[in-house]
Every structure is written in C-alpha cells, then in structure tokens.
Amino acid sequence: MGKPADDFLLDVRGLSKHFGGIRAMSGVTFSIPQGSIISMIGPNGAGKSTFVNVVSGTHVPDAGEVHFKGEDITGLPGHVIAAKGIGRTFQLLELFDSLSVLENVMVGCHTRSRSGMLACGFSLLSALKEEKRIKEEAMESLAMVGLEGRAHDPIYRLPLGERKLVGIARALGMKPKLLMLDEPAGGLAAHEVEGLARLIHLLVERGLTLFIVEHNMPFVMSLSRRIIVLDEGMKIAEGPPEEVRANEEVIKAYLGEEVC
Amino acid sequence: MNGAPQSKLLWLVSIVAITAIPLVAGSYVVGVMCFIAIFGGLAVSMGLLLGQAGMFSLAHPVWFGLGGYVSGILALRGIAPPWLGSIIGAVFVGFVSYIIGAPLLRLKGYYLACATFGLLLIVQISLGQLGPLTGGHEGLMGIPPFSIGGFVLETDVHYYYLSWALCLACLWFLYNLMDSRMGRAIKSFSDSEVAAKSMGINVPQFKLKVFTLTAVMASLTGSVYTCYLRFAEPGIFGFPLQVQLMTMVIIGGGKTLYGPLLGGFVVMWLKELIHMYLGKVLPRMGAHVDALFFGVLIIVILIFMPGGLSGWLDRLLDLGRRTFGKTSG
C-alpha cells in the first residue's frame, strides 16, 4: 500500500494455461491501472473466462506471473487471493441457492470477520456483535445495487437481472480493490444494462478498479478506458475503444462481424 | 432463525415437554425416549454433515463407538470416572478425526463414502481384534455408571435427562453455528465450492472443522450411550447403525437441523410399533421385519417428500405464512 512506484493494481506477464491439449491462454501480458475500467473482449472460446479463473486462483497457470499491488500472487489458492482484495462474479452466477439474498452478501463479508466455530456455536457476545456489523455492511452493499427491498427473499424468487446484481453485491461485501465481472450484461434487458452501467460508474467513483469480461459491444465500448482483445488464447489488440474498433486483427477475429 | 420469538417459544415448549415426560409417562416410554435422544442426537450431527455441508461420510458410528470405548475403558480400569472419560474420549476423537479427515476429505461424493466405509470396517474389526484392550468381540462388560460429585446416575430417568440435555445442547450449538458466518460458509461451499473459494473461504479447512466437530459430538453421545448400557461391543458401532442414522436423516430431512431428530423420533417409535403389532400378524418374519418396512418407507419418502418430514413441514409453514402472512405478522 502506498508505494508510489506501483501505479498498476494488477500486472499480468506471459500468463499461459492449457487444459490437456487445448491451449486456453498463452502469453497474455497487460496491466490494469488503479481506478479505471478495463475490459476484455473476444470471440467464444478466446480464453476470457480462463483468464478470470487464473487471476482469481480457481486455476493455477502453467506459466507467467500475476502481480497484485506489487505482490506476486501467482498460483496462490483462491481464498488467499480473495482475501488480498480481488473480488469476482461468475458467468453462471454461482450464487448460494440455499441462502437468502442478504445471506449471500453476508458470505461476501467472510474475509472481514473473525469469529471462530466455538464463539459462533456458543453465541458469544463478540460473535453476535460481529454478526450485527456484517449484516449492516451487507445491507449497505445491497443498497448500492438497489436490492435492499429483496434482502430476505430466497434466490430462486429473483429474476436473472437481479441475480446478477446479487453476485455483484456479494463481491462488494468483500470490499475488494479489484472487481472482476464475468459477463455482467449477458442476458439482461436494455434498461437493466443501463442500470448496470450506472452502477459500474458509481463503483469507480468510490475508488474501485473494474475488470469486465463482456460480449455486449456497445456496453463495453461506452464504459471502458482500455480494451484488451483475446483470440484463441492470445492477446491480439489492446488500446482505447476507438483504436480497438478500427483494428484489422480484431475485425478479422470477429470474421466480418461488425464491431459496433 | 434462533433469534425469532416463535422459535424461542418452540424451544421453551420442547424443553418443558421433555422435562415433563418422565413425570407422567411410564418406564417404557422413558426408555424409548432416551434412545431417541441418543440416536436422534447422533443423527442431528450426521444430518449436518450430509444435508448441509454435503459431505457423504459413512464413518459416523466410528466416532460414536470410539468415544464410548475410550470412556468405557478408562472407567473400567479406574483411570478416569465416566464424566472425565467422555471428555478425554471427545478430545481423543477430535484429534483422530482431524488427522484422518485431513487426507480423506480431499475426496468428494461417493469416493468419500467409499473411503469412510473402509474406515468404518477397519475400526470395527480393530475393536474386535484388540482383545486385551477392548475386550475383543465380547466387548466391555460392566462399565460403571455415570456419577457426578457423588450422585450416581442409575435409573432410566437419570439417563433420560442426561441424554436429552446433551442432545438439546448439541442442537442449540448447531443452531447458533448455522446462523453465523461459519454456518453460512458451510452452506455456501455445499452450494458452490468455486464461489465459496472466491469469497475467501478456505474450503478444505472448513470441511475438516465440520467433520471434527460432528465427530466430537458423536463421541460425547457414544460415551453416554455405553454408560447407559453399561456395555459396549464392536457390533453395535457398525454399518447397521449407519443405515439407521441415514434412515433417520432421510425420513426427517437433512436440510434442517431438527429434521434428523424428528426422524429419530419417528423411526424409533415406528420400530416399537412394528415389533409390537406386526410380530403378531407375521410371527415368522422375526426381528428383520422392520428393515423391510423402512426400506419401503425410505423409497416413498424420497419420491414424495425429498426434503423429508421437516422439509415438508417447513414448506407447509412457509405456505401458511404467505397466505395468512399479513394478519399473523
């Protein structure tokens, strides 16, 4: 913290991952500066989700390094990386279906609470106090995404758009420095996408750094400061939205598909 | 859940009812209810593993038996009185389950079931073969009764109160636990392990903690059980007990904490009824008639009430609350 030399929050160098004979990602290198919105696009199977999984510790990379806040976090277990301040959402949500909306977000507060098994089981005062604090903080996260009214609903009563917001609120519960969103706009209606864009701007104003993996081109183009394009596991372009849009490699990768 | 006034009332009513039963009921009812507290309580910790943490362990009788054996051996040899023996047993079982759980819990689903089944067989055979220490297949005879500060627990009623106190204490502990950050973490990894990890939850460590906790609870129950019977032999801590526990969990429902206890209540009383009446109708079927009956019951429950009795009750309550929600507050 506070090292002036580290103006990059996340620094990825030569990151590679293959599953058996399939090369999911090879030699990906780029950096994410503090307080910005960086996006990653690419055709299906380009390795975008693999990238998120490797950075968040779900998969261990085969080669390359990941530095977060100047610290080498390559290959650390997922729960350790999460505690260091990298929050994420999932393309397939992965919400905790047996918990209520509020409880889902309270799980997000796990790293910032300490009570042990005995303290919780015997309902010691310290545990109850902490529980109250977690509940308040979780409500704040829910309020930020506008779901405080659904706090006590079970997950299955929520439509897809709100479930995606629960995923974001849950990650916010961790008070992360870097938030990685895996296809946050996928399957959302137009007005929901607008709301999501407003939320993302709000989060950046509050000092968060966002990394977004997305298919929705207008969404990505309007939000991001920089865009990274992956194709077949390799970075083929990086730059501001206008530059990427004009890049021939990118157009070729999308095979004539009009890039916005 | 525990903080709601309705559940406080429910606790109070249950405690009063359980306290009152020996005052009004005969020794037969007290005896059966005592076994319900022991096996129902055991099923509660089993249900936590199976239903809420999603860990398919078949080794629950191992911890129950080890706890019973440790306190039994210590008491028989005059090394420690039963109350101290059960604590020593619990510490021992906690230690052993931690050491064994660390490699075993890397397995999931049916692989974990197979490995823990192996553990069950190994421990049962070892208890039978370690003659000088465990009394071999004849088991431990004449274990002294529980005594606390000169007061000796001798009658069924004494053990009734002891076993229900332990059972309700375990249930209370688990209710608090499941309503806290620990409980949410436990449920979260059974829903989505990958998401739980990315929320900063150390899943393998949590599994080990839950496994050890339930083992310690089983061990305490086992100590009370052997002291009550004054006797222990390897046969009562084997696979049939595991099947009985699973029957209780399935019938009562493993998604709630009280479900397995409710299941224990239903299973034990049904068993009594079957032996009382069905034996007269079908005298040639003998003692195994209940296995047939419970087999059919499990299939019926799994098809029509996959959440067990407690899941069905909770759905009914939820429906009632939503229908009459505004008026009843």
Which ipTM was obtained for this model? Answer: 0.90
Tell me whether residues B191 and A174 touch, CB distance under 8 A: no
What would the DSSP string read from start to end of B149-180? TTEE--SHHHHHHHHHHHHHHHHHHHHHHHTS
Closest approach of B235 to chain A, Cα-based (Å): 33
DSSP state of B14: H
For chains A and B, count residue pairs whose Cβ atoms are closer than 8 Å: 104
Predicted pLDDT at A260: 53
Q: How far apart are CA B322 and CA A197, in angstroms?
A: 35
Q: Among all residues of chain A, which has the CA nearest to that of B191? A: A96
Closest approach of B228 to chain A, Cα-based (Å): 27
Predicted pLDDT at B326: 52
Predicted pLDDT at B328: 44
How far does CA B316 lie from the centroid of its chain?
26
Q: How far apart are CA A248 and CA A230, in angstroms?
A: 14
DSSP state of A150: G
Rg (CA), chain A: 19
Residue A107 near chain B (CB below 8 Å): yes
The tens-digit pLDDT sequence of chain A (260 residues) is 334 345 789 999 999 999 988 889 999 999 999 999 999 998 888 899 999 999 999 999 999 999 999 999 999 999 999 999 999 999 999 999 999 999 999 999 999 999 999 999 999 999 999 999 999 999 999 999 999 999 999 999 999 999 999 999 999 999 999 999 999 998 899 999 999 999 999 999 999 999 999 988 889 999 999 999 999 899 999 999 999 988 888 888 875 555 55
Tokens found for residue A134: 């977690």
Q: Check if the beta carbon of residue A88 is closer than 8 Å to that of residue A171.
A: yes
Residue type, B69: Y
Predicted pLDDT at B187: 94
Predicted pLDDT at B243: 94
* Alpha carbon separation from A162 to A93, A159, A168, A209 (Å, rounded): 11, 6, 10, 22
Predicted pLDDT at B293: 86
Among B210, B290, B276, B317, residue whose Cα is nearest residue B29: B276
Tell me whether residues A58 and B199 touch, CB distance under 8 A: no
Predicted pLDDT at B8: 86
Q: What tens digit of pLDDT does each residue of A182-231 get?
A: 999 988 999 999 999 999 999 999 999 999 999 888 899 999 999 999 99
Q: Among all residues of chain B, which has the CA nearest to that of A122? A: B173
Neighbouring-strand partners of residue A238: A228
Tell me whether residues B199 and A174 touch, CB distance under 8 A: yes
* Alpha carbon separation from A22 to A25, A26, A60, A237, B311 (Å, rounded): 9, 11, 15, 22, 44
Domains, chain A, in order of start with CATH, read 8-85+176-260 (3.40.50.300), 95-174 (no CATH)
Closest approach of A18 to chain B, Cα-based (Å): 19
* Among candidates A99, A117, A170 on the partner chain, residue whose Cβ is nearest the Cβ of B177: A117
How buried is residue B317: exposed, middle or buried, by Cβ count under 10 Å (0-12/13-18/19+)?
A: exposed
**β strands within chain B, DSSP E:** 140-141, 147-148, 151-152, 231-232
Tell me whether residues B192 and A94 touch, CB distance under 8 A: yes
Residue type, B39: F
Q: How far apart are CA A69 and CA A85, in angstroms?
A: 10
Tell me whether residues B188 and A107 touch, CB distance under 8 A: yes
Contacts of B187 in chain A (CB under 8 A): 96, 98-99
Predicted pLDDT at A3: 41
* Among candidates B184, B200, B255 on the partner chain, residue whose Cβ is nearest the Cβ of A82: B200
Predicted pLDDT at B285: 66
Residue type, B260: P
Residue B310: Cβ within 10 Å count: 24
Q: Among all residues of chain A, which has the CA nearest to that of B180? A: A120
Whole-prediction pTM: 0.91
Q: How far apart are CA B158 and CA B31, in angstroms?
A: 11
Q: Check if the beta carbon of residue A217 is closer than 8 Å to that of residue A248.
A: no
Q: How far apart are CA A143 and CA A122, in angstroms?
A: 31
Among B271, B309, B315, B277, residue whose Cα is nearest residue B293: B271
List chain B residues with pLDDT less than 70.
1-5, 279, 283-287, 325-329
* DSSP three-state, residue A145: helix
Predicted pLDDT at A181: 96
Q: Which residues contact B307 (CB under 8 A, 6 or more apart)?
A: B253, B255, B314, B315
* Among candidates A87, A96, A123 on the partner chain, residue whose Cβ is nearest the Cβ of B188: A96
Q: Check if the beta carbon of residue B191 is closer than 8 Å to that of residue A103.
A: no
